[in-house]
Amino acid sequence: MRYLPAVALAAFALPLSAFAADPYSYAQPSVVRVTHLDLDLGVDFDQKALAGTATLKLDWKDPQAPELVLDTRDLKIAKVEALGAGGAVSPLKFTLAASDKELGEKLTIAAPKHPAEVRITYATVPTASGLQWLTPEQTADKKQALMFSQSESIHARSWVPLQDSPAIRFTYDAHITAPKGVRVLMSAINDAKHPLDGDFTFDQPHPIPSYLLAIAAGGLDVRETGPRSAVYAEPGVVAKAAHEFEDTEKLIAATEKLYGPYAWTRYDILVLPPSFPFGGMENPNMTFATPTVLVGDKSLVSLVSHELAHSWSGNLVTSASWRDIWLNEGFTTYVQGRITEAVYGKTQADEEALLSARALEKGLAKMPVNAQKLTPSPRAVGADDALTDVAYDKGSWFLHTLEQRFGRDNFDAYLKGYFAHFAFQSIDTETMLAYMKTNLLDKYPGKMSVAEVRAWVYEPGVPRDAPLPTVARFDNIDAERTAFLDGTLGADKLDAKTWNTQEWMYFLDRLPDAPPLTKMQELDTAWHLTGTPNAEIGMRWYAHAIAAGDKAVWNAAGEHMQRIGRLYLTTPVYRAFAATPDGLAFAEGIYAKAKPAYHPMTQKAVEGIFAKAKAHPGKAN
What is the pLDDT of the chain when averaged over all its residues?
94
For the annotated catalytic residues, the residue numbers are 307, 392
**What is the domain count for the chain?**
4
Same domain, 393 and 375: yes
Same domain? 69 vs 148: yes
CB count within 10 Å of CB 486 equals 8
**How many other β-carbons are positioned within 10 Å of the β-carbon of residue 14?**
17
CA-CA distance, 557 to 570, in Å (whole number)?
Answer: 10
Same domain, 417 and 546: no
Q: Is residue 610 part of a domain?
A: yes
CA distance 356 to 363: 10
Closest CA to 568 of 525, 532, 538: 538
Which CB contacts under 8 angstroms, 24+ apart, belong to 339-343?
339/251, 339/254, 339/255, 339/258, 339/305, 339/308, 339/309, 340/302, 340/305, 342/254, 342/257, 342/258, 343/247, 343/250, 343/251, 343/254, 343/305
Asked whether the beta carbons of 491 and 515 are under 8 A apart, the reply is no
Tell whether 420 and 451 lie within a shared domain: yes
Nearby residues of 333 by Cβ (< 8 Å), 6 or more positions away? 306, 309, 356, 392, 393, 395, 396
pTM of the model: 0.92
| Residues whose CB is less than 8 angstroms from the CB of residue 211 and which lie 6 or more positions away in sequence, other chains included | 151, 152, 153, 154, 155, 156, 164, 166
Same-domain check for residues 47 and 187: yes
- Give domain status of residue 432, yes or no: yes
- Domain with 180, as residue range(s), is 31-205
Residue 38 is inside which H or E element, if any?
A: strand 32-44
Q: Can you say how many angstroms the Cα of residue 549 is from the centroid of all Cα atoms in its chain? A: 33
Each residue of 293-351: pLDDT tens digit?
A: 998 888 888 899 999 999 999 999 999 999 999 999 999 999 999 999 999 999 999 99
Output the domain CATH number for residue 546: 1.25.40.320
Run of H or E residues at 148: strand 146-149
Which residues of the chain fall below pLDDT 50? 1-19
Q: Which residues of 78-93 are buried (b: 16+ CB within 10 A; e: fewer)?
A: eebbbbeeeeeeeebe
- Asked whether residue 468 is assigned to any structural domain, the reply reads no
pLDDT in tens, 242-288: 999 999 999 999 999 999 999 999 999 999 998 898 999 999 999 99
CATH number at residue 134: 2.60.40.1730
Are 387 and 319 contacting, i.e. CB atoms less than 8 angstroms apart?
no
d(CA 58, CA 426): 18
Domain boundary among 172, 205, 238: 205
Q: Which of 257, 277, 311 is the last residue of a domain?
A: 311
Three-class SS state of 225: strand
CATH of the domain at 292: 3.30.2010.30
Among the three residues 260, 292, 311, which one is the final residue of a domain in this structure? 311
As a residue count, the chain comes to 621
**Could you tell me if 507 and 481 lie in one domain?**
yes
